[in-house]
Amino acid sequence: MTAFLAELGKKLAERWVTLLVLPGLLFLAAATAAAVLRHRRALDILALRDRINDVTQAPANDRPGSIALLAAAILLASAAVALVANAVAALIMRGWTTKSSRGPARLAIAIRRSRWRRANDKVQKAIKEAARRPTSPAPEVAATIAARNRISPIAPEHPSWIGDMFRAVDLRIHETYDLDLGVTWPRLWLVAPDSARSELGAAQDAYAGSARMVGWGVLYLVLGLWWWPAAIIGVVTIGAGWFRARSATSVLIDLVESTVDLYGGSLAAQLGIPTDGRLTREIGLAITQMLQKNRDTSQAS
Amino acid sequence: MGGVRDRIERLCVALAELDLGEAAADAGAQPLLDRILTQVRSDRAPMTLEHDLDLLQEALARIGVDGLLNVTRYRRLPVSNGHPVVYAWLCPLDRCSRVETVRGANGEPVCGVADTPLKKVRLKT
């Protein structure tokens, strides 16, 4: 038990340092620079050094008690800032998949729909032109389809590409197998082997990590109101986080769809639904109906 | 870092085929390897196995033996546009320039003149 608790403590401490304290300390350093320098002397490193020297050389600040108190306060403050960044990240993840059409989300959806329609027109045009010479290679069809899918694989209904990617995989699985991914996913997770869950877990971690990165970027952007270099850090961090989020979403969606394709038949067998190992629309519907358990109140007697 | 079972599988293969024991001794990680093996062979739930595997991997990496116990994660291939399966529907009589790009909710699109379905062709994407 002691070994278990020691190991648990070590793991928690490692995660605490990696996820909370280190990025929090960096942010506190930037906040200190912002508090001392402001916009006017934003890059005056010497002024920052002098100010830190003044504080640390004050007679009351070189006693062990003061140092311990200051270290504890810094650690707590960095953890607190990290918790704020995590809360912002949670909001960002919610925003990526929201279907809200109010305020800025409505504008974002309208812009994305307009871009998607133009890209889809190019796809239709490329197909029509290629169809007139069907025996000739038509790479432009694949190119226009890829360009349209970079906006969204389906007509956009979310303010972000990420939300539409999740919706697209849900629709594809429903149209192909008549499966309701929402109710099926927990059971598929339990049926999938360790190797698949390990990949999925890593992909989910990468997705959450990218949202945390954007969350930190937002905090730096706010700090930029007092110290403009922080705004630059914020913009770059948000951009990098967004790029990572798109990549993580692609990987996660590939893996979710692959899990359904590969283990949907195993799930049917586990549920006692007759199958030859393949997942068909009939079997998918049987799984969906069994797992929904009349959850839809309009169907309930 | 990969599932523990996957990593133990790699450990098993490395011990049997690649003389991992010697590499661990060179890396000064023989006691660590022994501790891992004790945990794997034990009936009790391993307490520090994953952490010990991390440590062994780091010790091996320090002497230039890398990637022996870790699992490479899935990444998308950098293929450009792929090869989507795309069909189009043309005039069955080759008399007009009608081209349909979608199948339609009621099945194959139909030629009003010939009263037959349009000719389905697959494009070379």
- Spell out the SS3 assignment of B63-90: CCCCCCCCCCCCCCCCCCCCCCCCEEEE
A55 touches chain B (CB under 8 A): no
A59 touches chain B (CB under 8 A): no
A139 touches chain B (CB under 8 A): yes
Q: Are A141 and B87 in contact (CB under 8 A)?
A: no
Best of A199, A243, A244, A256 to substitute, by most chain B Cβ atoms within 10 angstroms, is A199
For A132, residues 6+ apart whose C-beta sits below 8 A from its C-beta are B97, B99
Percent share of chain A, pLDDT over 90: 73
B72 touches chain A (CB under 8 A): no
Q: Which pLDDT score, from 0 to 100, does residue A25 have? A: 93
| Strands across the sheet containing B119-122 | B99-100, B87-90, B119-122
Tell whether the model's pLDDT for residue B69 goes beyond 60.
yes
pLDDT band at B1 (very low <50, low <70, confident <90, very high): very low
For residue A56, the one-letter residue type is T
For residue A262, the one-letter residue type is L
Tell whether the model's pLDDT for residue A225 goes beyond 80.
yes
Distances (CA, A) of B109 to B86, B112, B115, B121: 15, 9, 10, 13
Long-range contacts from A133-137, C-beta under 8 angstroms, 24+ separation: A134/B88, A134/B90, A134/B121, A134/B122, A134/B123, A134/B124, A135/B124, A136/B124, A137/B124
For residue A17, the one-letter residue type is V
Q: Could you say which of A124, A194, A250 has the minimum Cβ distance to residue B6?
A: A194
Contacting residues of B for A3, CB less than 8 Å apart = 47-48
A136 touches chain B (CB under 8 A): yes
pLDDT tens, position by position, A78-137: 989 999 999 999 999 999 998 877 888 899 999 999 999 999 999 999 999 999 888 899
Q: What sign results for the dihedral spanned by CA atoms B20, B24, B30, B31?
A: negative
Is B51's CB within 8 Å of A136's CB?
no
Q: Is the ipTM of this complex over 0.85?
A: no
Contacting residues of B for A254, CB less than 8 Å apart = 74, 76
Tell whether the model's pLDDT for residue A189 goes beyond 50.
yes
Contacting residues of A for B99, CB less than 8 Å apart = 127-128, 131-132
B99 touches chain A (CB under 8 A): yes
Q: How far apart are CA B115 and CA B112, in angstroms?
A: 5
Cα angle A272, A273, A275 (rounded to 5 degrees) comes to: 120
Q: What integer is the mean pLDDT of A208-215?
A: 96
How is residue B50 written in tokens?
């994953």
Is B84's CB within 8 Å of A202's CB?
no
Is B125's CB within 8 Å of A142's CB?
yes
Query: Three-class SS of residue B99?
Result: strand
Instruction: Please give the residue of chain B at the shortest CA–CA distance from A149.
Output: B81
B44 touches chain A (CB under 8 A): no
Q: How far apart are CA A298 and CA A106, in angstroms?
A: 30
Q: What integer is the mean pLDDT of A35-48?
A: 92
How is residue A171 written in tokens?
């629709």
Q: Which pLDDT score, from 0 to 100, does residue A301 have? A: 43
A202 touches chain B (CB under 8 A): yes
Tell whether the model's pLDDT for residue A246 goes beyond 80.
yes
For residue A187, the one-letter residue type is R
Tell whether the model's pLDDT for residue A8 goes beyond 90.
no
Q: Could you say which of A7, A146, A202 has the minimum Cβ distance to residue B51?
A: A7
What is the H or E stretch that residue B110 is in? Answer: strand B110-111
pLDDT band at B84 (very low <50, low <70, confident <90, very high): very high
Instruction: Please give the residue of chain B at the shortest CA–CA distance from A134.
Output: B123
